[in-house]
């Protein structure tokens, strides 16, 4: 990059700050545009000023006149006025991930990249654990942990890279060692405009990958992989040659072995997958495929699963109260993720609701109906879920809990406890985003867990 030109960075978020630091460290002239003018933003601006980065506050509608490249925040849609103005002015727009790829030094760590609607963080952490068990200095980066623009010059010898659809939209030259698509289901349609466009963006991860890995049980992921010879599938069924899959109670590899037509290698047992659920077995197989593509031995795959610690708010057991289990899957922020969670339990009081982001929940409710004892609904789009329940699960009792305060979760848990019977699972799997009431899915899950612990401390009081 030419130090005589100017690079504009949109936003002072984590990725924006990382991009500005990386560019300033290379001697580039950098200006950051930030609409919000608060204490946190001013502190970040002061830190960047020491590196020679100028921060301009205010709702800029177009980039500075001498901008030759604009690095955008991953969540900004292409329709954002600043980005449309940049396009009209002929200014190239990229994201922090694309910037990281362009700035990586010679001999930089290879990328094992993955995307999908659900399971990305779980898979990237499983993958990092497998790589570490094999003796690599592996870093989990991208849409998780360390900003990738910093990690490319860090100590890792291989990067496990989680990529969102937003990040892939603004990336055009990534060439990972291996790329995987875990699944594709309606999500972020308000951002991408259609499922076809969302899927197309997910498929960009394959375009220059050395090895393509895909979910053979997912129709869209399979279609995205079809143009790539030698693509490796993973499946919950018995695998064909060129796939990883399940045989009885074993996870097996029929792709990265000497004779895939006639041989398979045992990777792990189903009991090694925690928390156990069909979709988490698929996650483990995806991580194993990525790891095996990089030469990770079988023993390290199994050890990695043993070392893996699930992130909070993902099918997280909270407590048992009155012979009823309470499980926090607040990260199930779309219908696809909620469906995977609901499929893991036989009798459920379902806690659901939030912002559906333009997605339909009819098929989710239809599939889950046989497992539902009752449902407790909260949040902005709860009426849409109630309508789907009336259509596909008319005999399931439904309670709506109105309110926009975070204390609503205590009322939700009280209602759920009253509907549950011994042996049931009260499952928070909202199928929607949290920002209608909570700051994020973590805050929502924590509110649920606190309410459950209060119920456990005084179950009689919760029923009053």
- Which helix (H) or strand (E) covers residue 40, if one does? helix 39-49
d(CA 321, CA 289): 39
C-alpha angle 426-428-429 in degrees, rounded to nearest 5: 125
Using CA atoms, how far apart are residues 240 and 96, in angstroms rounded to an integer? 38
| 203 alpha-carbon distance from chain centroid | 16
Is residue 81 exposed (0-12), middle (13-18) or buried (19+ Cβ within 10 Å)? exposed
60 is in an annotated binding site: no
CB 117 within 8 A of CB 167: no
Question: Any known ligand binding at 414?
Answer: no
Q: Both tokens of residue 213?
A: 């890995």
Residue 122, marked binder: yes
Residue 36 marked as a ligand binder: no
Confirm or deny that 204 is annotated as ligand binding.
no
Measured CA distances, 179 to 110, 256, 286 (Å): 11, 15, 10
Q: Are 377 and 398 in contact (CB under 8 A)?
A: yes
Element (H or E) spanning 202, and its range?
helix 195-203
Contact 5, 29 (CB under 8 A): yes
**What residues does 426 pair with on adjacent strands?**
326, 349
62 assigned binding-site residue: no
Q: Is 203 annotated as a binding residue?
A: no
- Distance separating alpha carbons of residues 442 and 408, to the nearest angstrom: 15
Residues in binding site:
116-122
Residues in binding site for ATP:
116-122
């Amino acid at each position: 990059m030419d130090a005589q030109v100017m690079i504009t960075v949109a936003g002072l978020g984590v990725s924006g700050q990382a991009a500005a630091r990386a560019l300033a460290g290379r001697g580039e002239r950098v200006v950051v545009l930030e609409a919000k003018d608060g204490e946190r933003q001013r502190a970040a601006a002061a830190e960047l000023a020491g590196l020679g980065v100028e921060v301009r506050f205010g709702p800029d509608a177009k980039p500075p006149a001498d901008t030759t490249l604009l690095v955008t925040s991953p969540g900004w849609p292409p329709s954002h006025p600043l980005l449309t103005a940049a396009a009209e002015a002929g200014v190239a727009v990229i994201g922090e991930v694309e910037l990281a790829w362009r700035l990586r030094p010679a001999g930089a760590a290879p990328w094992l990249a993955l995307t999908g609607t659900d399971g990305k963080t779980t898979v990237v952490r499983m993958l990092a654990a497998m790589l570490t068990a094999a003796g690599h200095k592996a870093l989990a980066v991208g849409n998780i942990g360390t900003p990738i623009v910093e990690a490319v010059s860090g100590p890792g010898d291989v990067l496990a890279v989680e990529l969102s659809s937003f990040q892939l939209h603004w990336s055009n030259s990534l060439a990972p060692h291996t790329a995987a698509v875990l699944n594709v289901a309606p999500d972020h349609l308000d951002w991408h405009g259609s499922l076809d466009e969302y899927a197309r963006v997910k498929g960009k991860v394959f375009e220059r990958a050395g090895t393509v890995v895909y979910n053979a049980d997912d129709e869209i992921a399979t279609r995205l992989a079809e143009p790539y010879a030698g693509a490796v599938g993973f499946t919950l069924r018995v695998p064909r040659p060129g796939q990883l899959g399940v045989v009885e109670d074993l996870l097996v590899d029929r792709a990265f072995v000497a004779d895939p037509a006639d041989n398979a290698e045992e990777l792990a047992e189903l009991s090694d997958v925690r928390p156990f659920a069909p979709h988490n077995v698929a996650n483990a197989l995806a991580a194993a495929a990525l790891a095996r593509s990089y030469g990770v031995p079988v023993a390290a795959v199994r050890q990695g699963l043993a070392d893996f610690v699930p992130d909070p708010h993902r099918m997280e057991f909270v407590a048992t109260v009155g012979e009823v289990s309470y499980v926090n899957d607040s990260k199930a922020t779309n219908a696809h993720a909620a469906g995977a969670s609901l499929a893991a339990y036989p009798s459920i009081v379902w806690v659901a609701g939030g912002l559906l982001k333009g997605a339909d929940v009819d098929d989710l409710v239809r599939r889950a109906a046989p497992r539902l004892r009752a449902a407790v609904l909260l949040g902005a789009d709860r009426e849409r879920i109630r309508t789907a329940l009336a259509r596909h699960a008319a005999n399931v009792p439904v309670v709506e809990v109105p309110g926009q305060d975070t204390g609503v979760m205590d009322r939700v848990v009280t209602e759920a406890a009253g509907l549950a019977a011994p042996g049931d699972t009260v499952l928070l799997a909202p199928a929607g985003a949290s920002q209608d009431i909570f700051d994020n899915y973590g805050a929502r899950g924590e509110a649920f867990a606190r309410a459950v612990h209060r119920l456990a401390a005084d179950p009689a009081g919760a029923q009053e």
